[in-house]
Amino acid sequence: MPTESQAATVTVRDRFLADHRRLEDLFERLLAAFKASDRELVEGLWSEFDAGLSAHMEAEESHLFPLLLASQPREVRTLAAEHKHIRARLIELGIAVDLHLRRLKEMQGFVEELRAHARHEDSILYRWADDHLGTAERTSLFGALTKCPGKTPRRRSAYADASSSSSAATSSSTFTGFVK
Ligand SMILES: [Fe+2]
């Protein structure tokens, strides 16, 4: 768990951009495993990536979006819509992983989408957070970033996720602060 001293010395921007890079590296390793047709490695890396990205988005939705909402509602709506899109892509690609489909082009496209989203969050969210969050808020935020959603990485059934309403895309932690 992050300590208060860590939260006082590490900026939100540095911590979250580092997490984006970590997820990107994980995804690059996943692509390499896909190309090598190493199914076991693909499944392990996918679970780690899926859990890491989900925790990252949940931390932002729980600890940053509600704070930014009052002053920049339009920007928060846009970022939340991007998260919704990313979750839908996670489900699609998770199904491909489960079915051992080689969707290399889609996978490469996804990493480009994640990079664009990270740049967007950097310009809107992280810089704002460093100007407005106190040490206690940062401590909670950094703690949420390292928390695994549901404790264990999801190993999903391709068919269950395609039809179930209990998937990650509709998890209770999905940001709903702007629902009209
Ligand atoms: Fe982010």
Q: Is residue 3 part of a domain?
A: no
Measured in Å, residue 157 CA sits from the centre of ligand 1 at 27
Q: Is residue 173 part of a domain?
A: no
CATH number for the domain that contains residue 92: 1.20.120
Measured in Å, residue 117 CA sits from the centre of ligand 1 at 7
Q: Is residue 136 part of a domain?
A: yes
Closest CA to 14 of 129, 111, 98, 105: 129
Q: Is residue 135 part of a domain?
A: yes
Distances (CA, A) of 30 to 5, 38, 123, 140: 34, 10, 28, 30
Measured in Å, residue 18 CA sits from the centre of ligand 1 at 10
Measured in Å, residue 65 CA sits from the centre of ligand 1 at 11
* Residue 148 DSSP class: P
pLDDT of 170 strictly over 60: no
pTM value is: 0.80
Q: How many structural domains compose the chain?
A: 1
Measured in Å, residue 28 CA sits from the centre of ligand 1 at 18
pLDDT of 34 strictly over 90: no
Measured in Å, residue 69 CA sits from the centre of ligand 1 at 16
What pLDDT shows up at residue 35? 87
What pLDDT shows up at residue 176? 60
Q: Is residue 42 part of a domain?
A: yes
- Buried-exposed string 69-105: b where 16+ CB fall within 10 A, e elsewhere: beeeeebbeebbebbeebbebbbebbbbbbeeeebee
Measured in Å, residue 60 CA sits from the centre of ligand 1 at 7
Measured in Å, residue 16 CA sits from the centre of ligand 1 at 6
Q: Is residue 165 part of a domain?
A: no
Give pLDDT tens digits for 82-111.
Answer: 999 999 999 999 988 888 777 778 888 999
Q: Is residue 22 part of a domain?
A: yes
What pLDDT shows up at residue 69? 94
Find the domain containing 71 and state its range.
Answer: 12-150
Q: Is residue 17 part of a domain?
A: yes
120 CB-near residues (< 8 Å, 6+ apart): 78, 79, 82
Measured in Å, residue 21 CA sits from the centre of ligand 1 at 10
